[in-house]
Amino acid sequence: MDKNTSILDMLLRPELPNVQKELPTAKYKVKRLSKLLGAEVVFSLKALPYGRVEDLRQGAGEDMTVQIVLSGVADPNLKAPELAQKYGGVTPAETLKAMLLPGEIEDLSRAIERLCGYRMTTIEEVKNA
């Protein structure tokens, strides 16, 4: 870093996105479903904006993992009526629990949390600064 460049100047650079508008994304293959169907079953995930994370923390209770998955899976649409009909779920949460194993739900939730910056080290202490 140039000694004349301030942290503020760096934060104002155009290549730094507004993370509320440009949320990180990733794709994850669900191995069990892919094996059963003989085709790649890939879920598109997106990070959740700060406000949505806070809403989930305050209101989801014990189903927070399920709610993170329902909010963070961009494709397929886990709230599609066709899925509810096939799996007999009255709510999207019930449908998800009938469609995926608990470990798959947990893994997807953790992947979404990592996209949000959780479950990973995002800062480090600077010694002798």
CATH at 55: 3.30.2220.30
Q: Specify the number of domains making up the chain.
A: 1
Lowest mean pLDDT among 8-17, 38-47, 69-78, 90-99: 8-17
Residue 30, domain extent: 19-115
The pLDDT-based confidence of 48 (bands split at 50, 70, 90) is very high
Give domain status of residue 128, yes or no. Answer: no
Q: What is the pTM of this model?
A: 0.84
Question: Is residue 65 a part of any domain in this protein?
Answer: yes
**Is residue 120 pLDDT above 70, yes or no?**
yes
Classify residue 8: in a domain, yes or no: no
* Position 129 in a domain: no
Position 84 pLDDT exceeds 80: yes
21-33: b or e for each residue (b if 16 or more CB lie within 10 Å)?
eebeeeebebeeb
Is residue 121 included in any domain, yes or no? no
Question: Is there a domain that residue 4 lies in?
Answer: no
Q: Residue 48: which of 108, 115, 107 has the closest Cα?
A: 115
On average, the pLDDT of the chain sits at 90
Q: Is it the case that residue 3 has pLDDT exceeding 70?
A: no
- Mean pLDDT, residues 45-73 taken together: 88
Instruction: Write the single-letter amino acid at 107.
Output: D
Find tokens 């949000």 and name the residue: 116
Distance CA 73, CA 68 (A): 8
